[in-house]
């Protein structure tokens, strides 16, 4: 079974600064997806960024970028120019790209990192 570990329960950053959230995962599969989801107090899980494991190039979405190290099984999220609206819980998640017809077709989440933005 896959596991996802987020070792930072809480992170704090000054507005406009850059912050990096860590994520490591364990899998024996070679084909998979990795995601960062944002969950504000409204509880809606919002996709921030996605990475396909077969792609060597790190994904970027505006102020959000990842550092994907496949051999090290590491998938960190960098948020540049932090804004007050970035404050939320951030979850790293893994999804197999191989169909299994079960729960493994869904997401395995880390425990989350609570990001605080200091004005």
Q: Which of 25, 87, 88, 112 binds another protein (CB under 8 A)?
A: 112
Q: Is the dihedral of CA 54, 57, 60, 64 positive or negative?
A: positive
Which range touches another protein (CB under 8 A), out of 17-25, 66-74, 78-86, 99-107?
A: 99-107
Residue indicated by tokens 């425990």 = 111
* Smaller CB separation from another protein, 7 or 111: 111
Choice from 22, 27, 33, 74 touching another protein (CB under 8 A): 33
Which of 41, 56, 72, 103 binds another protein (CB under 8 A)? It is 103
Q: Cα(18)–Cα(46) distance, rounded to whole angstroms?
A: 20
Q: 42-61 mask for another protein (x: CB under 8 A)?
A: xxxx-x--x-x---------
Is residue 63 a contact point for another protein (CB under 8 A)?
no
> DSSP states of 13-62 as a string?
EETTS-EEE--EEE-S-SSEEEEEEEE-TT---EEEEEEETT--SPPEET
List residues near another protein by CB under 8 A.
Answer: 4, 33, 35, 37, 42-45, 47, 50, 52, 91, 95, 97, 99, 101-103, 105-112
């Amino acid at each position: 079974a896959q596991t996802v570990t987020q070792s930072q329960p809480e992170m704090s950053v000054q507005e406009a600064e850059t912050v990096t959230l860590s994520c490591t995962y364990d899998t024996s599969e070679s084909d998979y997806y990795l995601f960062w989801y944002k969950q504000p107090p409204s509880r809606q899980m919002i996709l921030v960024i996605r990475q396909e494991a077969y792609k060597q190039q790190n994904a970027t979405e505006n102020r959000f970028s990842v550092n994907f190290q496949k051999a090290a099984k590491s998938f960190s999220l960098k948020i540049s120019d932090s804004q007050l609206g970035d404050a939320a819980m951030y979850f790293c998640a893994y999804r197999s790209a191989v169909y299994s017809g079960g729960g493994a077709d869904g997401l395995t989440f880390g425990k989350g990192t609570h990001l605080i933005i200091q004005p």
